[in-house]
Structure 1
Amino acid sequence: MTEAHDWLDAEAGPLVRNFALTGGRTRPGATAFDLLTYVVGIGEVDEEVALRLHPEHRAILARAETPVSVAELASHVNLPLGVVRVLLHDLLELGTIERHDPRQATTFPDDELLKAVIHGLRAR
């Protein structure tokens, strides 16, 4: 007979899992990962670093063999975005991934264009 626990949900699994995965951290540190930031693994991970990786870190590295956006990565490893951002920060500090941030827009549409778009949408 199995004992029921308040911290275990049959459908969702252990309720403390994400907290445990990130060591209680809720923010990725000084390095924020935008949804559109691309990450890619740098290849072979040395043995000392590999011993420090959790299975979720390994899953991220396996998916990041080719460049992948943070949003897509979170979907593929089936983890919440916040958890993936914290784990990516760990991997970046360990030197196992590279990040490529999206280009920032240098020009923005003028007000007249935006007004025309709004007017067109309202006319529908």
Structure 2
Amino acid sequence: MSGPGDGPGDEYADGAVRPYVITKGRSRPSRNTIGVETLLVAAVPPGSLPISATREELALVRMCERLLSLVEAAAHLQLPVSLAKVLASDLVDSGYLAARSGVPQAVLPDSQLLQEVLDGLRRLR
């Protein structure tokens, strides 16, 4: 009987139950303030994760020693963004990671100013 990884070039593939196990059965993050553009950074001083931490949680905290976006972290972990979001949310809640949002709305350019720039560019033609 053959199984995963029996053929040449085949790699071990995780089963469908794996994401469920990684997130401890949850499919939604505990907070909705973390988006794909959210920047994650390890807490200072870095805390020691509990022995029950998954290897994905350990890797996420390690890679966030430098500022990293959620979507970059998901790519490095080779996990779906939704799964990385659940992990990051848990680590933020427990104090191992800090989340920094993107540019605040007050800093974004005014829509009237953007419209004036667009109108000016159109007059240049």
Cα pair 1:32 1:85 within 8 Å, conserved: no
Unaligned runs of 5+ in 1: 5-9, 120-124
Matched residue, 1:54: 54
The residue type paired with residue 82 of structure 2 is G
Unaligned runs of 5+ in 2: 5-10
Distance apart, 1:113 and its partner CA: 5.0
Distance apart, 1:15 and its partner CA: 1.1
Deviations 1:29-57 (A, max 9, x none): 134311111111124323xx421311000
Matched residue, 1:100: 100
Matched residue, 1:16: 17
Superposition pairs for residues 82-93 of structure 1, below 5 Å?
82-93=82-93
Q: Relative to 1, partners in 2 of residues 1:112 and 1:60: Cα closer, same or farther, differing over 3 Å?
A: same
Matched residue, 2:72: 72
Deviations 1:38-80 (A, max 9, x none): 111124323xx42131100011011101010111111111110
| Identical columns (%) | 23
Aligned positions, number: 113
Alignment partners' CA distance in 1, 2:95 and 2:67: 16
- Superposition CA RMSD, Å: 2.8
TM-score under structure 2 length normalisation: 0.73
TM-score under structure 1 length normalisation: 0.73
Alignment partners' CA distance in 1, 2:51 and 2:12: 31
After the TM superposition, which parts of structure 1 deviate over 3 Å for at least 4 consecutive aligned residues? 1-4, 111-116
